[in-house]
Amino acid sequence: MDCIFCKIIDGSIPSYKIFENKDVLCFLDIKPDSISHTLVIPKKHIKDVYEIDNETLSNVYDAAKIVISKIDKIFKPDGYRLVQNNGIVQEVKHYHLHIIPIYNDNDNDFTVEEVYKKLSK
Q: How far apart are CA 70 and CA 64, in angstroms?
A: 10
Q: How far apart are CA 50 and CA 27, in angstroms?
A: 23
Rounded mean pLDDT, 84-93: 95
For the full predicted model, state whether its pTM sits above 0.75. yes
Nearest to 61 by CA among 12, 11, 97: 97
- Separation of first and last alpha carbons in the chain: 33
> Does the active-site annotation cover 37?
no
Q: How far apart are CA 66 and CA 88, in angstroms?
A: 29
Q: How far apart are CA 59 and CA 104, in angstroms?
A: 30
- Asked whether residue 121 carries a pLDDT value surpassing 90, the answer given is no
Q: Which of 37, 94, 96, 98 is catalytic?
A: 96
Could you tell me the domains of the chain?
4-119 (3.30.428.10)
Q: pLDDT (tens digit, 9 = 90+) per residue, 1-40? A: 689 999 999 999 999 999 999 999 999 999 999 999 999 9
